Amino acid sequence: MKPQLQIRMNEALYLRNPESSALGKSIIKHSVEMIYAQGIETFTFKKLAAEIGTTEASIYRYFENKHKLLVYLTAWYWGWLEFQISFHTNNIKEPAVKLKRVIKLLTSTVVDDKQTHHINESFLHQIIIAEGSKAYLTKQVGEDNKQQFFKPYKDLCAVIGHIISEVNPKYKYPKSLATTIVEMAHFQNFFMNNLPSLTDFGKTKEESEIIAFLNDLVFSSVKKK
């Protein structure tokens, strides 16, 4: 039996820790499935309660509202992804190789690790692509940021920024390039599948092409001239 990977979560994101009970885990599991299937706009706590056979009131004991739940899921994802990245780039010395691996991990469809836990990472990956930016594109972004809700996202970007600086310490925009990589890994995927004329991958719809594009973009900029 594999040790369950636990992502350390900011306690201000929930009222009761969903990892602490069967109901909590069920809330997370079915939230992911339902938001994946119907999108965050039409998803409601009432529908979720019906789906898992509990009451709205019970769900509100775990999460203050839908926004907090979305932020929770995104924070979990970024924490999980940072772990994946540190795991898969662990013994790579060459920073350029490491950066390529990061781009691949960011862009590739996640395979759900069924053994590990109740969260379907593949669904969650799709949720992050379509809904992730809504977590911070709000008027409360300042408040939420003060409460450290975006720390996992910022930490991940910082890690990528550091790798960029390792590749070329003189490159002037490591942080902005890091966020560009992360956001574009997702946006190009969304566009490829939904507004294909906005990308150069509309024909094949291959993730490998997004990876090639990002590699070209990143290494052209970062490489010493």
Partner DNA sequence: TTTATAATAATAGTATTACTATCATAAATA
Partner DNA sequence: TATTTATGATAGTAATACTATTATTATAAA
Nearer to a second copy, 54 or 179 (CB): 179
Let me know: does 147 contact 6? Beta carbons within 8 Å: no
Residues 57-86 vs DNA: string with x where CB under 7 A?
Answer: xx-xx--xxxx-------------------
Residues 170-199 vs DNA: string with x where CB under 7 A?
Answer: ------------------------------
Could you tell me which of 1, 19, 2 has the C-alpha nearest to residue 10? 19
Contacts 24+ apart (CB under 8 A), 138-146: 138/67, 140/67, 144/71
Distance between CA atoms of residues 22 and 40, nearest Å: 23
Q: Does 197 bind a second copy (CB under 8 A)?
A: yes
Q: Write down the least CB distance from residue 66 to DNA, Å.
A: 6
Residue 200 binding result from DNA, a second copy, none, given CB thresholds of 5 to 8 Å by partner type: a second copy
Helices 174-194 and 151-167 pack at an angle, to 10 degrees, of: 110
Q: Which of 29, 47, 151, 162 is close enough to bind DNA by CB under 7 A?
A: 47
Going 111 to 68 to 174 to 80, the CA torsion angle's sign is: negative
Residue 22 binding result from a second copy, DNA, none, given CB thresholds of 5 to 8 Å by partner type: DNA
Q: Which two tokens stand for residue 162?
A: 């550091």
Site for a second copy in 96-135 (CB under 8 A): 130-131, 133-134
Distance between CA atoms of residues 169 and 167, nearest Å: 7
Distance between CA atoms of residues 69 and 48, nearest Å: 12
Q: Does 9 bind a second copy (CB under 8 A)?
A: no
Residues of this chain that bind a second copy (CB under 8 A)? 38-39, 41-42, 130-131, 133-134, 136-139, 141-142, 145, 150, 153-154, 157-158, 172-180, 183-184, 187-188, 190-191, 194-195, 197-201, 210, 213, 216-217, 220-221, 225
